């Protein structure tokens, strides 16, 4: 397969050799929506299959203001200084609309972005969440093939993007700021249920007492959730950290490692990765099917004709849809 795809054939061995420039080039490739690039990207991912390397994929969510960039800088540097390599990717489905992008401001991660064992990739501007999912997932696969020990996938606190990130990581970490007790309700139950670890940042200086209280509040809330059979006693857990002083970061990393080890030992890790791959296959089929409605000229024309009939009141949305689906059932 790969010899038909010169770029994929060139990049694959270089990525496996850990060549940073090839990795950056490949991430750009998977971010492209051009059909020839898509074909090269699919061939590249296929060529990299079976390398047997596994990074610890950590999903990290937190709304703006919790100090996420500072946390990633401090946590990433701590890992790098411990001899590990770290890739940081970002998922921000809103960046297309807002014009901004998380991780866009690399100056916030000044040290980490210059560390030789780190790779930081800002969120590309997004047109739709499906596209973001595929690109991020493929970028994760590339970083894993390049031999990174840890891949951090950052997202903003928006329901759908968090679900998506949870489907491509091994651990999910929720970063929060210290808060008053009644603000607990601000975190949606669904996100609490996704979190393996809740880290309350800014546990330093004046905010330390509030952070300690917030940790206790969340620890209490987490105890009310159903225990996950795959996890050791005590998980999910809430811990205080300070990205500013570095306090709590070694403990947080220790907990992540303990959880990863337990999940590997129980076989849950491999099962979960297999489920995730199957999930993304199904998602891709769904996305591809819907894409045909927009891209196949004959289908587009039929859709437009029926839409006109519906708009003019000559038929109802449901009757027209039934007709269109009958046509599509006969081979489009």
Return the range that interacts with a copy of itself (CB under 8 A); candidates 70-78, 195-203, 260-268, 307-315: 307-315
**Shortest approach of a copy of itself to residue 321 CB, angstroms?**
3
**Shortest approach of a copy of itself to residue 92 CB, angstroms?**
16
Integer angstrom CA distances of residue 90 from 59, 102, 136, 184: 10, 7, 8, 26
Neighbours of 279 (CB within 10 A): 12
Q: Are 203 and 242 in contact (CB under 8 A)?
A: yes
**Shortest approach of a copy of itself to residue 143 CB, angstroms?**
15
CA proximity to 116, closest of 183, 209, 184, 21: 21
Of the two residues 33 and 275, which places its CB atom closer to a copy of itself in the complex?
Answer: 275
Of the two residues 87 and 306, which places its CB atom closer to a copy of itself in the complex?
Answer: 306
Of the two residues 110 and 326, which places its CB atom closer to a copy of itself in the complex?
Answer: 326
What 8-state DSSP symbol labels residue 190? H
Of the two residues 233 and 304, which places its CB atom closer to a copy of itself in the complex?
Answer: 304
Of the two residues 78 and 321, which places its CB atom closer to a copy of itself in the complex?
Answer: 321
**Shortest approach of a copy of itself to residue 105 CB, angstroms?**
21
Neighbours of 250 (CB within 10 A): 12
Of the two residues 82 and 291, which places its CB atom closer to a copy of itself in the complex?
Answer: 291
Q: Are 19 and 131 in contact (CB under 8 A)?
A: no
Neighbours of 103 (CB within 10 A): 22
Contact set for a copy of itself, span 109-138 (CB under 8 A): 134, 137-138
Binding residue for a copy of itself (CB under 8 A) from 20, 34, 49, 114?
Answer: 49
**Shortest approach of a copy of itself to residue 167 CB, angstroms?**
11
Of the two residues 116 and 313, which places its CB atom closer to a copy of itself in the complex?
Answer: 313
Neighbours of 164 (CB within 10 A): 24
197-200 sheet: strands from edge to edge: 118-121, 86-91, 150-155, 56-61, 171-176, 197-200, 237-240
- The kind and range of the H/E element at 311 are helix 297-311
Contact set for a copy of itself, span 253-292 (CB under 8 A): 274-275, 277-278, 280-286, 288-290, 292
| Spatial separation of the C-alpha atoms in residues 244 and 246, rounded to whole Å | 6
Binding residue for a copy of itself (CB under 8 A) from 26, 151, 256, 320?
Answer: 320
Return the range that interacts with a copy of itself (CB under 8 A); candidates 4-12, 145-153, 222-230, 317-325: 317-325
Integer angstrom CA distances of residue 16 from 10, 154, 307: 11, 24, 50
Q: How many residues does the chain have?
A: 332
Radius of gyration (Cα) for the chain, nearest Å?
22
**Shortest approach of a copy of itself to residue 290 CB, angstroms?**
6
Site string (1-40) toward a copy of itself, x via CB under 8 A = ----------------------------------------
Q: Are 162 and 155 in contact (CB under 8 A)?
A: yes
Binding residue for a copy of itself (CB under 8 A) from 54, 113, 163, 315?
Answer: 315
Residues that bind a copy of itself (CB under 8 A): 41-42, 45-46, 49-50, 134, 137-138, 274-275, 277-278, 280-286, 288-290, 292-293, 303, 306-308, 310-313, 315-322, 324-325, 328-332
């Amino acid at each position: 397969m790969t010899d038909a795809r010169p770029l994929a054939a060139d990049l694959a061995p270089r990525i496996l050799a850990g060549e940073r420039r090839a990795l950056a080039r490949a991430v750009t490739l998977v971010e492209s929506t051009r059909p020839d690039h898509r074909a090269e990207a699919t061939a590249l991912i296929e060529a990299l299959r079976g390398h047997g390397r596994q990074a610890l994929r950590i999903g990290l969510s937190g709304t703006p203001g919790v100090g996420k960039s500072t946390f990633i800088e401090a946590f990433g540097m701590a890992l790098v200084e411990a001899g590990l390599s770290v890739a940081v990717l970002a998922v921000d489905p809103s960046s297309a609309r807002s014009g901004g992008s998380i991780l866009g401001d690399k100056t916030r991660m000044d040290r980490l972005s210059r560390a030789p064992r780190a790779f930081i990739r800002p969120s590309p501007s997004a047109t739709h969440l499906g596209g973001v999912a595929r690109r991020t997932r493929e970028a994760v696969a590339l970083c894993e093939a390049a031999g990174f020990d840890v891949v951090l996938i950052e997202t903003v606190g928006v329901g759908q993007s968090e679900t998506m990130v949870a489907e491509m990581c091994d651990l999910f970490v929720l970063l929060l700021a210290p808060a008053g007790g009644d603000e607990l309700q601000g975190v949606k139950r669904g996100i609490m249920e996704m979190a393996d670890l809740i880290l309350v940042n800014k546990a330093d200086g004046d905010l330390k007492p509030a952070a300690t209280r917030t940790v206790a509040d969340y620890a209490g809330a987490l105890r009310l959730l159903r225990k996950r059979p795959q996890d050791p006693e005590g998980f999910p857990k809430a811990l205080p950290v300070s990205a500013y002083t570095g306090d709590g970061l070694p403990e947080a990393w220790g907990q992540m490692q303990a959880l990863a080890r337990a999940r590997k030992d129980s076989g849950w890790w491999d099962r979960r990765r297999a489920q995730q791959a199957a999930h993304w296959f199904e998602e891709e089929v769904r996305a591809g099917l819907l894409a045909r409605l927009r891209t196949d000229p004959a289908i587009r024309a039929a859709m437009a004709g029926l839409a006109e009939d519906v708009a003019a009141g000559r038929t109802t949305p449901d009757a027209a849809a039934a007709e269109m689906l009958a046509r599509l059932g006969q081979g489009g």
